[in-house]
Chain A
Amino acid sequence: MNAVPSEKPKPERFDPLRYRADFPLLARRVHDKPLIYFDNANTAQKPRAVIDAVDRYYREFNANVSRAVHTLGEEATSAYEATRDKLARFINAPSRDEIVLTSGTTQAINTVAYSFAMPRLKPGDEILVTTMEHHANIVPWQLMCERTGARLKVAPIMPSGELIAARFIEMLTPSVKLAAIVHVSNVLGTVNPVRDLAKACRARGIPLLVDGSQAAPHVPIDVQALGCDFYALTGHKLFGPTGTGMLWARREWLEAMPPFFGGGEMIKTVSFDKTTFADPPHKFEAGTPNIAGFIGLGAALDYVEAIGRDRIAAYERDLLVYATTALKSVPGLRLFGEAPHKAAVLSFLIDGIHAHDLATLLDHEGIAVRSGHHCAHPLMQFFGVPATARASLAFYNTRDEVDRFVAAIGRVRKLLG
C-alpha cells in the first residue's frame, strides 16, 4: 500500500439537506405545500435522535430519578444526569454542580430573581436591563422591584438594533445591584458584546445575568470566557423537548442563594423542627423533574455537537446574508435589526400590510413565520410598531426555501398591496 501524502482534510461542505432528513416533521405538507419552517426562534423542530431518546425512556427505563435503587431507577438517573454533564460541556461551565436544571429560561431567570435578587435588593437599588429584552428578562425584575422598592433601569439601543454598549457601561452606577442582558435578541438577531459588558460589570462588582435562549442554538457559548455570573437557556429552541432548560451560576452564588421551590428532591433531612437542604444544584430542583425531556435534551446536545456549532454558525451566517439580500429586494420592506454581528433572525414589515395578514397568507403557502410583538413590547415601542413579521432560520433551512419565501411575499403584496 502506498503511503498517502498527509493532507489537511478538506472541510466538508455543509449540506443542509443531509441534516433535514433527520427531522421527520420537516417532511410534512401544510395547505398542500411543502412546509417551510421559518419560526425557529419560537421553537425549533426535533431530530429523530431526540424523539427516539424520549420514546426509549418511556418504553425501556421509565422510573423516577435520584431515589429508586432498582435497575430502572439507576438507568433513568444516569441518563438524566448525563444531560447535566453535557450542558456543562456545552457552555464550558467549570463544574456540573453549577448546572441547575429548570423548565426553561423563564424559570431560570425567576430563580435568580427570587433567590438571588430579592433578598439583596433594597429601596433605591437598581437593576439594569436593555431595550431589547424579552419579557422573560423584564417582568421578573419588575416583580422584584415592586417587592423591594428597587428600580429598573433600561440601557438604550441604536436604530440598527445594536446596544449602545458605552451607555450600558456608563449606567453601571453604584446603585446597580444586578445587570441582565440578552445574549442574542429574539427579534433583532443582535449578538450583544457580552464579554465586554461582563468585564465592566465585574470591575464594578455587579453580577451579570445573560439570557441565552436564542444564543444557544446559534453561537458557541463559553461562560468562563464570557465572564458572566448567571447564564440561562432553554432546551426547546435547541432542538430538544419543551419544558427543559438550565441555569448556570457561579458556585458561590448558588451556595449563598436560598432554595426557590421547596419539596422532595431538594433536601438532606426533613423534620418538623428543621429541614436541611441538599447542596447545589439539587437545592433548586424540587419535585420530580421532566426526566424524559432532559434525556431528549441530552440527545439534542449530542446531535448539535456532532454537526459542530462552528459549522452551524458559519452556514447560518451565509444563509442570513443570502436571506437579507433577498428580502431587501422586496419593495416597501422594512427590516428591523441590522447589527453587524447578528444571528439568522429577520424581523420585517411591508408597507401597508399588517404582520398578521402576512403570516396568515404565508401559512396558506406552507410557510411558518411568526407575527406579533415577540414578547418584546418595549422593543416594539422603540420602533413605533405594534407588531412585526419574523423569519428565523436554522441550519436545516435552505436558500431554495428563502427564494420560495420571497416569491410568496411578492404574491401577498399583490393581493393586499
Chain B
Amino acid sequence: MPSSNLYTQAVLDHCRAPRNFGVLASPTHVADGANPLCGDTLRMELRCEDGRVAEMRFSGDACAIARAAASMLSELAIDRSDRELAGLQQVFIALVGGKVAGDDRLGGLNAMRELANHPVRQKCALLPFATLRAALAGLRSATTEGIE
C-alpha cells in the first residue's frame, strides 16, 4: 500500500492493540465524545487523584486514527493535571494542523503529524483529546465541532 504515511506501523500497532482500552470500575470523570462528521463515538473514563489523572480508559466505535490517537493519549495523560493537558492539547492541535513539525512533549502522538496532509481526517485524531478535556471539565459530552 503506497503513501500510507498516515497509517504508520506505530498507528497500526496502537489501533490493533490499543492501550488502556475498556472501562474503569469507579471513574471520577466520564465523557462521551462524538464526531458528527462520521458518527464515531468515544467514551473516556478517568480516575483522578489530587487533581491528576491516575487512570484512564477509553472505549467506543471509532476509526483507526481516533483509536490510535486515544491509545497514544492514554499513555501521555497519566499523572498530568488538566492544566498540563490543556497545554499539550494546544501543541497537538498545532501538530495536526501542520503548524509544528513535532514536539517531544507529545510522545507517541507525534505519529499523527501526517494528518497535516489530510485536513478532513484531522478531527478523528482531535476527538480523544477533546473528550478527555471535557471529562476533566466535568462535562458529559464533547464533539469535534468547534475544536479549532
Contact = CB atoms under 8 A, between A and B. Distances in A.
Interface of A: 31, 354-357, 360-361, 364-365, 371-373, 377, 380, 386-387, 411-412, 414-416
Interface of chain A, main secondary structure: helix
A412 B4 CA distance: 10
B65 interface: yes
Contacts of A373: 38-39
Contacts of B121: 356, 360
Given A356-B63, A357-B63, A361-B7, A412 B40 contact: no
Interface string B99-123: 0000000000000000000100100
A416 B41 contact: no
Given A360-B121, A415-B7, A31 B2 contact: yes
A375 to B, nearest CB: 11
Contacts of A372: 37-39
B12 interface: yes
Residue with the greatest number of chain A CB neighbours at <10 A, chosen from B4, B61, B64: B64
Contacts, number: 57
A152 to B, nearest CB: 21
Given A356-B38, A372-B39, A415 B63 contact: no
Contacts of A377: 39
Nearest to A386: B39
B40 to A, nearest CB: 6
Given A371-B38, A386-B61, A387-B40, 12 more contacts: A31-B2, A354-B63, A356-B65, A356-B124, A357-B63, A360-B6, A364-B1, A372-B37, A386-B39, A386-B41, A415-B12, A416-B15
Interface in B1-27: 1-4, 6-7, 12, 15
Given A354-B64, A356-B121, A387 B39 contact: yes
Contacts of B2: 31, 364-365
Nearest to B3: A364
User: In which size bucket is the chain B interface?
Assistant: 20 to 34
B78 interface: no
B3 A354 contact: no
Interface of B: 1-4, 6-7, 12, 15, 37-41, 61-65, 118, 121, 124
A416 B12 contact: yes
A264 B148 CA distance: 40
B83 to A, nearest CB: 32
A415 B6 CA distance: 12
A171 to B, nearest CB: 28
B6 to A, nearest CB: 7
B4 to A, nearest CB: 6
B7 A354 contact: no
19 contacts: A354-B40, A354-B64, A355-B38, A356-B63, A360-B6, A360-B118, A361-B4, A364-B2, A364-B3, A365-B2, A371-B38, A373-B38, A377-B39, A387-B38, A387-B39, A387-B40, A412-B1, A415-B1, A415-B7
A415 B4 contact: yes
Nearest to A371: B38
A323 B20 CA distance: 40
Contacts of A360: 6, 118, 121
Nearest to A31: B3
Contact of A364 (B4, B15, B38, B65): B4
Contacts of B64: 354, 357, 416
B7 A380 contact: no
Contacts of A414: 1
Closest CB pairs A-B (n = 4): A386-B39, A354-B63, A356-B63, A364-B3
Contacts of A31: 2-3
A21 B98 CA distance: 38
Contacts of A371: 38
Contacts of B37: 372
Contacts of B6: 360
A368 B28 CA distance: 44
B135 to A, nearest CB: 21
A372 B37 CA distance: 7
Contacts of B15: 416
Contacts of A364: 1-4
Contacts of A355: 38, 63
